[in-house]
Amino acid sequence: MSGQPAAVPTAAIEFRGARAVYPDGTVAVDGLDLHVRAHELLVLVGPSGCGKSTTLRMVNRLVPLAAGQVLVGGQDVAAGDPVALRRRIGYVIQHAGLFPHRTVAANVGTVPTLLGWPRERVRARTAEMLELVGLPPSTYGRRYPHQLSGGEQQRVGVARALAADPPVLLMDEPFGAVDPIGRRRLQEEFWRIQRAVGTTVIFVTHDVDEAVRLGDRIVVMGHGGHPEQVTDAVTLLAHPVPGMVTDFVGAGRAARLLPITEVELGDLVAPLGGPASPGGHDDDAGPTLRLGDRLDAALAALVVRDVVDVTDGTAMVGRLTADGVLRALRRVIDRAPDDEDDEDNRNGEGRDGAGGAGR
């Protein structure tokens, strides 16, 4: 599903000294400089009240700028009509914000209809979007929002936000109200969808696990919308900047690396072409792993037995032990560059962070 982003409209987003002040005088964002690359899924994470939502809402002008600029695709969002701007920018919020008296299909087709697309094109696009988010249109198209689970409503929210092919998608705690299992599934599916469509995304969360699962890069925000560290997931976990970022990322850093680190050949023991089952348990078909499986799956397998066979999909290529998991963790920590300022926040259009492991 990946590898086609250049074909769709997408845009970089640039904050230049962006400042937001609420009418009561609260300075929510105090001079933010940040470059979001085209095609990138950038996560803003930080404690409640640090200015994440305000940052997002400056892009679609739900919050006006007191100073500075926000550029989308090189164009100043302050120029032109805010309503037209919002139709060009997808926006997904926590409780989806669906229109309760409109069917699912009508919700998804809202912006294309407002943009004057012919009915047949709206219908085709709506069906395509519902398929994309895993809701077959024949089953779900005619339902109303109250006939959906919370997770399904969020899927419709994503489908609606993407329906008019916006160059930019803003997501504010979109899965925050969904139960943990449904939330995990939504994260995985959304990650795949974003890869497929290539839309530039700014995703707000206060959940570090969600940030490291989703983000090409992650901005850890401090008070006043200050970017304390801008980096990929592995570097953030391996080398958090001392102080606020380290406190926020927390003591469970190594554990958080498990689901984003792959088993590699160098982590294995036993020579290539060894026996199919270790330790003389030839008749014991225990769990096996593949190269590229994540360390969380590897640990789950190692709970069942001390040594687990690893294949490349066809042949066994070695065996993994608990030591191998530690080796893998040390490997990614050693490989992650020390994060000397946010050099990678200056420019560049590539979407491969050092993390790049996929999810």
Q: Which stretch binds ligand ADP (CB under 6 A): 5-13, 44-52, 158-166, 343-351?
A: 44-52
- Distance (Å) of CA 19 to CA 16, 25, 43, 59: 9, 12, 19, 12
State how far the Cα of 127 lies from the Cα of 149, in Å rounded to an integer: 19
- Which CB, 49 or 356, lies closer to ligand ADP? 49
Q: Which stretch binds ligand ADP (CB under 6 A): 18-26, 129-137, 311-319, 348-356?
A: 18-26
- Which CB, 46 or 90, lies closer to ligand ADP? 46
46 to 85, contacts with ligand ADP by CB under 6 A? 46, 48-54
**What is the smallest separation between the CB atom of 131 and ligand ADP, expressed in angstroms?**
32
Per CB under 6 A, 336 contacts ligand ADP: no
134 to 153, contacts with ligand ADP by CB under 6 A? none
Q: Which stretch binds ligand ADP (CB under 6 A): 41-49, 120-128, 157-165, 321-329?
A: 41-49
Three-state SS annotation for the chain:
CCCCHHHCCCCCEEEEEEEEECCCCCEEEEEEEEEECCCCEEEEECCCCCCHHHHHHHHCCCCCCCEEEEEECCEECCCCCHHHHHHHEEEECCCCCCCCCCCHHHHHCHHHHHCCCCHHHHHHHHHHHHHHCCCCHHHHCCCCHHHCCHHHHHHHHHHHHHCCCCCEEEEECCCCCCCHHHHHHHHHHHHHHHHHHCCEEEEEECCHHHHHHHCCEEEEEEHHHEEEEEECHHHHHHCCCCCHHHHHHCCCHHHHHHHHCECCHHHCECCCCCCCCHHHCCCCCCCEEECCCEHHHHHHHHHHCCCEEEECCCCEEEEECHHHHHHHHHHHHHHCCCCCCCHHHCCCCCCCCCCCCCC
Per CB under 6 A, 166 contacts ligand ADP: no
59 CB-near residues (< 8 Å, 6+ apart): 13, 70, 72, 77, 89, 168, 170, 202
State how far the Cα of 31 lies from the Cα of 238, in Å rounded to an integer: 28
- Which CB, 223 or 359, lies closer to ligand ADP? 223
**What is the smallest separation between the CB atom of 297 and ligand ADP, expressed in angstroms?**
33
**What is the smallest separation between the CB atom of 224 and ligand ADP, expressed in angstroms?**
8
- The number of residues that bind ligand ADP (CB under 6 A) is 12
Per CB under 6 A, 26 contacts ligand ADP: yes
- Which CB, 30 or 309, lies closer to ligand ADP? 30
Q: Which stretch binds ligand ADP (CB under 6 A): 43-51, 132-140, 159-167, 228-236?
A: 43-51
- Which CB, 221 or 268, lies closer to ligand ADP? 221
**What is the smallest separation between the CB atom of 182 and ligand ADP, expressed in angstroms?**
23
Q: Which stretch binds ligand ADP (CB under 6 A): 22-30, 93-101, 144-152, 178-186?
A: 22-30
From candidates 24, 283, 334, 352, binder to ligand ADP by CB under 6 A: 24
- Which CB, 156 or 211, lies closer to ligand ADP? 211
**What is the smallest separation between the CB atom of 46 and ligand ADP, expressed in angstroms?**
6
Backbone angles phi, psi at 17, to 5 degrees: 55, 35
**What is the smallest separation between the CB atom of 175 and ligand ADP, expressed in angstroms?**
15
- Which CB, 225 or 355, lies closer to ligand ADP? 225
Per CB under 6 A, 22 contacts ligand ADP: yes
State how far the Cα of 133 lies from the Cα of 195, in Å rounded to an integer: 13
Q: Which stretch binds ligand ADP (CB under 6 A): 20-28, 101-109, 255-263, 278-286?
A: 20-28
Binding residues vs ligand ADP (CB under 6 A): 22, 24, 26, 28, 46, 48-54
